[in-house]
Structure 1
Amino acid sequence: MKLAIDMLLHVSTHKGRWVYFFLAVITAFAAFQMRLIQIDTDPENMLAESHRARTFHNEVKQTFSMHDAIVVGLVVPEKGAKSDEAISGIYTPDALAAIHQVTDHVLAIEGVISQDVMSFSTVDNIKQGSDGSLEFSWLMASPPETASASAELQKSIERLPLLYDTLAASSGNAAAIYIPIADKNESYRIAQDIRAYLTNVDTAGQWHITGLPVAEDQFGVEMFVQMAIAAPAAGAMIFILLFLFFRNWSLITAPMIVAMATVIITMGALIGMGFTVHIMSSMIAIFLMPIAVVDSVHILSEFSDRCKPGENAGKVITHVVEHLFKPMLFTSLTSSAGFFSLMLTPIPPVQIFGAYIGFGILLAFLITLTFIPAYISRMSPAALSKLQVALHQNEEADNNEGSTTLLKRTVTKLRYIALNHRALIIAVFGAITLVSAWGITQININDNPVRWFKQDHEIRVADRALNAEFAGTYNAYLVITDTNKSIDAIKVLNEANLPSSLDEWVEQTQVSINQSDDANKMSELAMRIDDALFSNLDDDELTALDNLLQVVDAANGNANTFQQPAVLAHIEKLQAYLDTQPLIGKSQSLVDVVKVVNRELRSGNEVDYALPANNRGVAQTLMQYQSSHRPQDLWHFVTPDYRQTLIWLQLTSGDNQDMTNVISLVEDYFANNPLPEGLSYDWAGKAYLNVVWQENMVTGMLESLLSAFVIVFVMMVLLFRSLVFGVLAMLPLTITITFIYGLIGIVGKDYDMPIAVLSALTLGLSVDFAIHFLARAREIYKETGSVPDTLDAMFDEPASAITRNALVIALGFTPLLLAPLVPYITVGVFLASIMAVSALVTLLVLPAAMVFLKRWVFKGA
């Protein structure tokens, strides 16, 4: 190992141009790959493509022709018409004309599923005609021009539960347009098109655009901008801080080159290998920037301490790197292990994030080991002489009374506290750890893509406004399936014992049945029998086919599960229960369609707003509904074979915690009110998928953290060849993780995706400081043989290097606090907290613990 290090350092210090060349070529090639970047912010991709919840969700979308939707809403804050008190709120002619105008524009936008757009002007009014027949007419074929026409429109909407509180708010102050789109990745473009058009729509009130597809796609756009701003801003801040510490532009350029090269090569490798840039991987640059400069700061700190005027810089930097190689190697290995452990989670974007951060850490170690020596050894004699004199003068100035730097004064105070109040330190940090452990039990696991934006962001404003007015803009689908074996049409046909004279007809019918969809085979058989009954048949043939038709009709009646009133009654009771729950704004199902049509078929009065008494009555209502302008809407609620149905739940909150509670409500209901035998239920919808990946993330992160903790502990024992030193090295890590996550629970911050991932960063950086502190303490003790002298010396260069690193990382990412995206702000705040806590624990708790355990730590003391 030593021979390999010596050869590497020899090449770096004597063949620096080759180091520059290879680093430049690799970095340029990686940068060239970034032209292929693809942004992905779809939370659905937090689950593997083969995950059961994801595959079922996509099956449901395809089966019921459900699409991701953008919600456009117009909110009129105050009731009251300008000139006519008979109408108010959203039902003024001006507001209705604006809705009609915007709808016409939406229907013409490329990528919009126009036939499924829901707006006042695209849906049917279902009512009884003047002659008692059922009448389907456009709800708003053209905007009403009079107050009486507007009032009539309002009455019609209030009679249609499928529209009331979905398209028109019950307050009368808001109207919505639901815009299904073919590709959710186009939602930002479509939303921008609508925003631009709305600026030219003259009407009272405020327009809002929301929906999970818009939030996710807009986050991708803003994330891309943030990537281009946050990383350079953080780099600039780190550069300024390094200059304040080392006071030499040439010297501090080296770690910045290391950091930028590490970020560019890592991101270029990720993009070049075909991976999309998810919200997780977008943070790779933010995470790698501080980690990449850590080793450089340690090297520069010791170099500035050892380099004196007249000394050969190449020899000094070689000695420094040899001296720091082992602790730098193990800090890199332990930090990368913390992130590689994320590959154990069942979430693909987190796996990719962990893999590339781990790779980036090892890459930064290699670049630091080669580039920093090459850079310093190749500095011009004049620049090197100037650097050595400046460093020497700074050291002398720092030693003059009254001239110490803020860093020196800080380290001196920490030295005094650590060496004179050991018992108090142990007691205080012990109490903090206990309180933090309790705080961890108070953590709320929750996430919501809309809350990735700040409170005043237009997405958040729209989300609050529309969910306050309507039943909810978040969707969950409860799917009920008949799992009983379907009737075999071919078998029914073959068992009919038809006369031999019908053999040719039977063969042709078998071909027709086999060519039809599985859901329509029995219907195909019934149609073939109907056609045959009108042809020239003898009495025996007619009797046989008539008997077969009765068998088929009876079978179809039993097979069409969700045409049976008893089964629909179960769904009706479930909906009545759900509609009483505050978390659920509204539910819609096939039951609502049947009851509305049944009412208008009979009397048009509310007394007939009920389920028909028999299968034929249900079938008649559905047949009538299919003569409307939007017959396809029926298949959003039921499959053509009537063996699977969907209940659409509208939720006013997209928080995972609320969706989890809704799932529990349904489970409790079915536990007390079981579905009929053979029926089962499952969930789909974005709100449900978010719950699934959140649960997977929490479980996966916990498993990865525990496994990484064990791996790092074993590595510490092997590094120091001591169980005691291994335990000491884990102290800062353990206390920091406990404190950070305890604080999250105490202050009520939701445990979301960025918070979960920070555990890996906490593990890597916290143990970094401990390794350097303990490794240097062991070396100094071998030289001095004195515990007091060892600890005193530890608060010179080693403590200064640790403090510099903590400040560089903590303060270097303050630009993130100005980001418009909450995950970036979260990372900035907790990065600073992690660095401050882990540095304090290392510089205060470790010395105190080492003195209390000096019999085992310092053998022979």
Structure 2
Amino acid sequence: MQSNKVFSRLIRWRWPTLILSLLLFGAMVANAPKLTRDTSSDAFIDSQDPALLNRERVEDIFGLSDPIVVAVVNEGEDGIYNTGSLNLVAWLTDQMMRIENIDPDQVTSLGTESSITGTASGMDVDDFFETLPINESDVERIRNGVDNFPLYQGALVARNGKATVVVGELIDPDLATETYQQIMSLLEEAPVSAGDVLHVTGEGAVAAYLSTYVDNDASRLNPLAAVVITIILLLAFRTLRGTLLPNLIVLMTAGGTIGTMAALGVSFYVITNGLIVCMIGIAVADSVHIFSQYYEEIRKDPMADGRTVTERAMSAMWKPVTLTTLTTMAGFIALAFTTTMPPIYYFGVFGAWSVALAWLFSMTTLPALLSMLKPKQSPSFRAAPAQEATPDNLSARLMDRFGSLVVNQPLAVLIIGIIIAVCASAGAMFVVANEERIDSFREVEPIHIADRTINRLMDGTYYLDVMIETDQAEGLFEPAVLRQIDQTQRYLETLPNVGGSTSIVDYIKRMHQAINEDDPAYYSIPDNKALIAQLFLLYSASGDPADFEEEIDGERRLALIRANVSVNRYQDNAVLVERVTEHLADAYPVAGASATITGDLNVDFHWINGIVRSNLLSIVLCLAAVFIMASLLFRSVVAGMFATIPVSMAVLFVYAVMGVSGIWLGVSTSMFASIAIGLGVDFSIHTLHSMQEKVSAVKGSWNERLVTLYASTGRAQLFNFLAIALGFSVLMTSTVPPLVRFGALVGVAVASAFLAAMTLLPAMALVFKPEFLQQPRVEEK
């Protein structure tokens, strides 16, 4: 069936078409309120990844969860060792225990911990804050207790005494945002004394802050992107319908996609903000080409009615719009199936779904609405006197002149393209894979300041853990096992960015010293297994055995070594994880004990390492998908090569920009290539389709035929490019730095793809004269 008959019937049944499309949209968007957020770093790793499963096992055994860390910083002469700062710690500890989503048994501070001192009969375990510090002697007692217990130095109190922390562990990480807001409200009432400064950080706080951050960012960026797109449409068509109807398609596409995500239980991730801008650019691109053809038809036949004009426009544009839809979907699908990260996987899946929805609504809803409107000529498409072929508007004239330069110097264009490709290849060699979670925030944000301040003063708020597992109960009482744990701690503390470490060994050495009259010579591991067991028995006589639950399990079979690290950056983590893994392989098993690396830093390393492994594969598969799809659609392998070259140039150029400017290959930047291929291929497909029409249908030399595409297709491509590029440039106003870089890189990539399509494709056609452009047009049956 011929396409004009299809659209003739669709227009005849326009009301049912409109009703069905609106019902479909309504059914999808109704689910949007169910959308949930997930801003945790764990969202980026496969739920079955061994690194994540190991960490979850450790958390279950030792009762650990995402912490929120409140630091009291006083950089005065005595630091936090004054009655005001210490009473503030006591107040914060008490108040955090009252917060519903914080486990009161998992609040750690000077207000909950104990000091161990030797006595004539053995040892005493006394709370630091058994009585609130009210005078200098109380302060000195607390200072001496900390100084005599290395376990607390750097982990609980800064080694220089300038800071101390109150750590609360969340019961339900999904309620991190509400808990963080409660803590921030609490701090406004805190009895802060002179010199005290409060900071809040920790994984729980970062996830909560990021959640609010993303919400605020989305509520500002998405309307701004819509405004930018509207301005571009107004400049392109200078009519109300040409401005409003594409926005309706955008709304239906975005709403339908978000609603589908919610209905399927897919969360809104940090990078989903970028997907919304993608949807806006994708949806408006089809409308730009359809409206350009619509106004061309009105210009050619001003007396035609709305049905006729719409039918002609859709019959002319359905094929290139469908071709670009298929190739763009291929790019997004390739992105989805070359990653193990759920957020990027869903970005690819729902990117493809949004492309499909944009096509569906552009092919049905848009022509149904257009056919109801009386044709009205656009000021941008009035014909110039005595030159019917070139509309009298600035953008068409500029593109026509630009086209003349290209078709008159095709060889020079190709040589320049080759030179740019060589230079870009050299620049791309400097790209470095790296990621830092705190980099998700601007340096002026309180959470960023808190992270830098606390990690400067303390041993570190990031954790790399090692779990020691023995093969029998009380296996950890074996001196050989404890000595190996101690050696592992000492090794960890030699590594970059590791400020200190803690384990059950620290308690055992301190208890051994205490029962020997606090003689520093006895700060060591006893050689007798029975004595080690007795130390635990003595501790339980005056202390709480639960004090050890984050270091050792109830059977005394499993132990946790926790290294405090001051930086969570992929490049540093890679070195750290590799060296610790090598150490554990060499040092264990020992005396029936094995060791496993785990912790947040190990998990972060593994999910970011997935980016490095999959990035090149993603690009190759995306380009392969574009090549195969274009080859099939144009029935020519050469056409597939032509379609792939502009997007390949765009990707290469952006990698060069990254390499030269020092932008890391991270989570957000790793996606730009696949997205740029998916969006940029539109320019190749529309240009090739128009070139094929011009060469097959227009008489004259190849130069004369190809130059005519610039004032029509070229003009539509120009506004398509402006809509996408400026839409993504909105991300550059984001308060989330990775989104800023993502928006900038995709904008550069789209610009590069547009210029490459408008220059290299006509130039290559003129130099090589490929046969697929000379094939006669196949009549539709």
Give the letter aligned to residue 57 of structure 2.
E
* Counterpart for residue 13 of structure 1: 11
1:620-635 pair list within 5 angstroms: 620-635=534-549
* Counterpart for residue 765 of structure 2: 850
The answer as to 2:68 corresponding to 1:74 is no
1:281, distance to aligned residue in structure 2 (A): 3.9
Matched position secondary structure for 1:270: helix
Matched position secondary structure for 1:659: helix
Matched position secondary structure for 2:152: coil
1: CA distance, partners of 2:695 / 2:27: 47
CA 168–860 in structure 1, closer or farther in 2 if over 3 Å, else same: closer
* Counterpart for residue 363 of structure 1: 357
CA 826–6 in structure 1, closer or farther in 2 if over 3 Å, else same: same
* Counterpart for residue 105 of structure 2: 115
1:34-433 pair list within 5 angstroms: 34-77=32-75, 79-80=76-77, 88-129=78-119, 131=120, 133-201=122-190, 202-203=192-193, 204-308=195-299, 309-344=302-337, 345-379=339-373, 381=374, 384=375, 387-388=376-377, 390-393=379-382, 395-396=383-384, 407-408=395-396, 410-412=398-400, 414-433=402-421
Deviations 1:360-393 (A, max 9, x none): 11111111011222222111x3xx3xx3163554
Deviations 1:95-132 (A, max 9, x none): 11211111111111112111221111110011113x35
CA 7–219 in structure 1, closer or farther in 2 if over 3 Å, else same: farther
Deviations 1:122-161 (A, max 9, x none): 10011113x3520111112333222343233222212212
2:747 to 829, 832, 852: 832
1:773 to 687, 692, 698: 687
Does structure 2 conserve the Cα–Cα contact (< 8 Å) formed by 1:585 and 1:650?
Answer: yes
* Counterpart for residue 455 of structure 1: 443
* Counterpart for residue 750 of structure 1: 664
- Provide the aligned C-alpha RMSD in A: 2.5
Matched position secondary structure for 1:50: coil
How many residues end up aligned between the 2 structures? 769
Matched position secondary structure for 1:113: strand
Deviations 1:515-552 (A, max 9, x none): xxxx5xxxxxxxxxxxxxxxxxxxxxxxxxxxxxxxxx
Does structure 2 conserve the Cα–Cα contact (< 8 Å) formed by 1:565 and 1:615?
Answer: yes
Give the letter aligned to residue 326 of structure 1.
K
Deviations 1:274-300 (A, max 9, x none): 222233445432221101111110111
* Counterpart for residue 741 of structure 1: 655
1:594, distance to aligned residue in structure 2 (A): 0.9
1:45, distance to aligned residue in structure 2 (A): 3.1
1:221, distance to aligned residue in structure 2 (A): 2.6
1:819, distance to aligned residue in structure 2 (A): 2.0
CA 630–182 in structure 1, closer or farther in 2 if over 3 Å, else same: farther
Moved more, 650-659 or 274-283: 274-283
Moved more, 177-186 or 145-154: 145-154
1:258, distance to aligned residue in structure 2 (A): 0.7
1: CA distance, partners of 2:377 / 2:505: 84
Does structure 2 conserve the Cα–Cα contact (< 8 Å) formed by 1:124 and 1:630?
Answer: no
Matched position secondary structure for 2:198: strand
Does structure 2 conserve the Cα–Cα contact (< 8 Å) formed by 1:124 and 1:628?
Answer: no
1:268, distance to aligned residue in structure 2 (A): 0.8
1:324, distance to aligned residue in structure 2 (A): 2.1
* Counterpart for residue 513 of structure 2: 599
1: CA distance, partners of 2:774 / 2:479: 84
CA 153–413 in structure 1, closer or farther in 2 if over 3 Å, else same: farther
1: CA distance, partners of 2:487 / 2:392: 77
| Higher Rg | 1
2: CA distance, partners of 1:180 / 1:67: 6
% identical aligned pairs: 24
1:33, distance to aligned residue in structure 2 (A): 1.3
Does structure 2 conserve the Cα–Cα contact (< 8 Å) formed by 1:733 and 1:762?
Answer: yes
2: CA distance, partners of 1:48 / 1:859: 49
* Counterpart for residue 20 of structure 2: 22
Matched position secondary structure for 1:388: coil
Q: List gaps (5 residues or longer) in structure 2.
A: 777-781
* Counterpart for residue 721 of structure 1: 635
CA 235–27 in structure 1, closer or farther in 2 if over 3 Å, else same: same
Does structure 2 conserve the Cα–Cα contact (< 8 Å) formed by 1:716 and 1:726?
Answer: yes
1: CA distance, partners of 2:542 / 2:13: 81
Deviations 1:604-644 (A, max 9, x none): 12211111112122222233333454422323222333333
Matched position secondary structure for 2:364: helix
CA 428–659 in structure 1, closer or farther in 2 if over 3 Å, else same: same
Does structure 1 conserve the Cα–Cα contact (< 8 Å) formed by 2:278 and 2:728?
Answer: no
1:815, distance to aligned residue in structure 2 (A): 3.0
Give the letter aligned to residue 422 of structure 1.
P
* Counterpart for residue 597 of structure 2: 683
Matched position secondary structure for 1:455: coil
1:728, distance to aligned residue in structure 2 (A): 0.8
2: CA distance, partners of 1:428 / 1:153: 73
Deviations 1:211-266 (A, max 9, x none): 11211122123323333332222112101111011111122211111111011111
1:165, distance to aligned residue in structure 2 (A): 0.9
Matched position secondary structure for 1:799: helix
Matched position secondary structure for 2:80: helix
1:321, distance to aligned residue in structure 2 (A): 1.9
TM-score, L = length of structure 2: 0.93
TM-score, L = length of structure 1: 0.85
2: CA distance, partners of 1:468 / 1:745: 30
Does structure 1 conserve the Cα–Cα contact (< 8 Å) formed by 2:250 and 2:283?
Answer: yes
1:858, distance to aligned residue in structure 2 (A): 5.3
1: CA distance, partners of 2:258 / 2:741: 22
* Counterpart for residue 442 of structure 1: 430
CA 389–825 in structure 1, closer or farther in 2 if over 3 Å, else same: closer
CA 6–698 in structure 1, closer or farther in 2 if over 3 Å, else same: farther
The answer as to 2:460 corresponding to 1:472 is yes
Moved more, 22-31 or 56-65: 22-31
* Counterpart for residue 808 of structure 1: 723
2: CA distance, partners of 1:815 / 1:439: 26
Give the letter aligned to residue 355 of structure 1.
V
CA 624–656 in structure 1, closer or farther in 2 if over 3 Å, else same: farther
Does structure 2 conserve the Cα–Cα contact (< 8 Å) formed by 1:787 and 1:858?
Answer: no
1: CA distance, partners of 2:486 / 2:254: 57
2: CA distance, partners of 1:413 / 1:596: 83
Deviations 1:776-825 (A, max 9, x none): 10110112342111221121111111111111111134332222222332
Give the letter aligned to residue 72 of structure 1.
V
2: CA distance, partners of 1:676 / 1:570: 8
1:404, distance to aligned residue in structure 2 (A): 7.1
CA 695–798 in structure 1, closer or farther in 2 if over 3 Å, else same: same
Give the letter aligned to residue 435 of structure 2.
D
Does structure 1 conserve the Cα–Cα contact (< 8 Å) formed by 2:222 and 2:276?
Answer: yes
Deviations 1:574-614 (A, max 9, x none): 21122122321111112111111111111212211111112
Moved more, 307-316 or 187-196: 307-316
1:405, distance to aligned residue in structure 2 (A): 5.4
1:205, distance to aligned residue in structure 2 (A): 2.7
CA 29–92 in structure 1, closer or farther in 2 if over 3 Å, else same: same
